[in-house]
Chains A and B, each alone.
Chain A
Amino acid sequence: MNCIDSAGGRARAFRDLIGKTSGRLASGAAVLALVALGAVLSTGAAIAAAPASPHVVEYTIQVSLDPDRKTLDGTERLVWRNPSGDPVPELRFHMYLNAFKNNRTTFMRESNRQLRGDEAGTRPEDWGWIDVLSMVGPGGKDLRPAARFIQPDGNDPADETVLSVPLPSPVPPHGEIALDIKFRSKLPRVFARTGFARDYFLVGQWFPKIGVYEPAGVRERKTGGWNCHAFHGNSEFYADYGNWDVTIDVPSRFVVGATGKRVSEAKKGGRTAYRYLQDNVHDFAWTADPRWISIEFSFDPARDVKPEWTARAVEELGMPASELALKPIACRLLLQPGHEWARERYIDSTKAGIAFYGLWYGAYPYETLTVVDPPDDAVGSGGMEYPTFITGELANPIFNKWFTRGIRGIEIVVVHEYGHQYWYGMVGSNEFEESWLDEGLNDDSEARAMAMAYGPRDVAVFPGGVGVDSLSLRHAAYIRLPNLDPIRRCAWCFASGASYGINSYMKVGLFMAQLKSDLGPRAFTRAQREYFRRWSFRHPGTKDFFDTFEEVSGRDLSTYRRNVVEGTDRLDWSVVSAKTRAAERDTGVFDRTGGRVTLDAGTEATTPGAKSKKPDSEKKKPYVSTVLVGNLGEWPHGALARLVFEDGTVVERRIPADARWVRYTVTWKSRLAHAVVDPDRANPWDWNHLNDSKVLGTGKGAADTLGGRAAVKYGGLTAALSALWTQLLWALA
């Protein structure tokens, strides 16, 4: 087998040369040239007008499912193009399914054999693995005998999730190698994204998948090298972009859904082979189940994008609506029997996600989207993202009762997983080392999409009007977490699974909300849109994120990176004390314009027996209020302080960023009613909102607060709940 030096490879070499010598503008021009070149040279099956990605990989896979043994037999032709200027003497492959091979793998040991509350099975048929049967390289040589499993993270020696394949001769800089691989995969009983439950199959990370060779300069690398980590309990995935041509052979009774567009279907001997093509993606997943209810629907921008959404995007981005045009998408929902009630919710939330991400970041470039609704005994496969293919969750009929219908679990998951088409899908950050760049950014985007589509109480609304919004949910998670880890950390390096989850998702959601508050909506959304545009189909890192935001916003964000993302600084402005007292009248001897006077509590006493006279100025300002506000956290960041007096007067002052504390002293004719710092919650990063205020009394206007009444109401309610609890126990009495 010869290396193929294709036009694509030459084009990439050209771009690499231009990129090194001419800076961003030339790279942009080169990318545009590649787009044109790619469009001319692409085969008939490629997606028209798709943005170019550096086609590092080309996968052509034929796979056959044995539903009884839960195995896949496959042949894979992989063309890998060296993206660097280094000769590469070995290839590294992710063998993700080996994470489920036994209880000694890194994944099983770190996760304690569970993921998101779902546990691994323990019967013999529940394990999963993948074997490379042969790997024929250049010259027809089988490379498999020389291949060996390695543990690049110093992890468990029994772990077999990274396969190193030494090559007889290195792949030259920007050269190519083609391999013909035969493999067999055994799917595990699903608990961690991929596997089976009865005749339901969700097939992800199922083939030998080549790792990412990062050239020097990518993600702050000083030298080129493989970035191919073991599969850890908390990590996800990282791969290069390319073309995919996958043929899936299953018994004809199965309904199949997959990444990409189905281009052919061939029946033979009770089985059907479905062929799918997809360009410009870095992964491929599929599903098969005889029970799927297949619902085709389309996203039509003219029908499905509400005018107020477009208006909001125009306003926030400061761009005309003509530049925010979206395109139709052919969508498919694979629904489980028994979940028919969730059909419209799946469809509506998919459309809302497509609209938001398209308007704010850029049109979804692919033709198709498949949304999968897992069965209730395979929820471990839910809430997952793959290119053009997402899995939902929470369609169990228990969520269709009158008291649970207001929980938008389906919508949150669909919008979130769709959002991953952007963060991780098109902006290919490294989920192993910088999970915040996809999960966290997407957490923020999802919250904003949900607020756009479902209003301020976007997470849940319960009977009685009690609601939960995304920001509050994130705040709740943030404050429960011991402050042990920064946001940026390799996925397996966090102190605990909870620390990984909250630091990767919710803390970043809060951080992004803080950034938006500080930069302003226009600067923030434009910066984020530029980050998406600039880093689509590339592998950005933390530095690339901040460089883009600083460039677009014109602000120095070094403390955000250093203290918040790479540090563990908190912000906690609080009203430390608030007092109000009658102003002390002048007492003693004073030299005034008219001469020396002796005052006793403001009353002039010049001669014995003389009538006392109060100075007019003393009558009008009888109260002195003192408020001390302080930042109990470590991050230097300002806030707004607001003092409200009983007569409704409001005094506001901006606290400078470098202040640790500030004392305000105000003399006013009215008593202080309450003092509050950050009254409008412009600091989502603030760790404790309960200490943001102190209430001394009530009054009119802005001073009309109901705290006292609240204490009575909720005290009574708590007593009632306790009483009701004892009445429940009467069932025993």
Chain B
Amino acid sequence: MIFRRVSEWPSWNWRGQWEEMEKLRRQMDVLSGGLSGRLFAETSAGVFPLMNMTEDSDHYYVRAELPGIKADVLDISVTGDTLSISGERMILEEKENAKYHRRERESGKFSRIVGLPSQVDTTKVEASTTDGILKVILPKSEAAKPKQITVKGE
């Protein structure tokens, strides 16, 4: 039997619980992904736009595929550890006499908030779009950066 005191839970708040759930789900996805032979298990939050987050030692990178969305209609804001992106994808109506054979591209509004794994330096966040990909670069705050500790020999 596992006994764990409440105080030992990693951050006892709603986000902490959410992250625990996410982690569990991700692990299950990895399991099922492994069975079906997929290289990457996708963990979709089911909210548009789908995002990929990566990190290196100094930054988090958030990317989303937003084809045909101009940078100026995107509304991006960052607090210490959340990133919110909202906007609207508009598809212009073509000429009136145009007869549609296929209409698979969708338009509409979207809004999404993602929790970041740690605090970021909100003053240095950069966002850009290239070829329909939004890329947000979030520098980790000093406290969240990994520190190289040198061991002194005597």
Tell whether A pairs with B: no
Interface residues of B (CB under 8 A from A): none
Interface residues of A (CB under 8 A from B): none
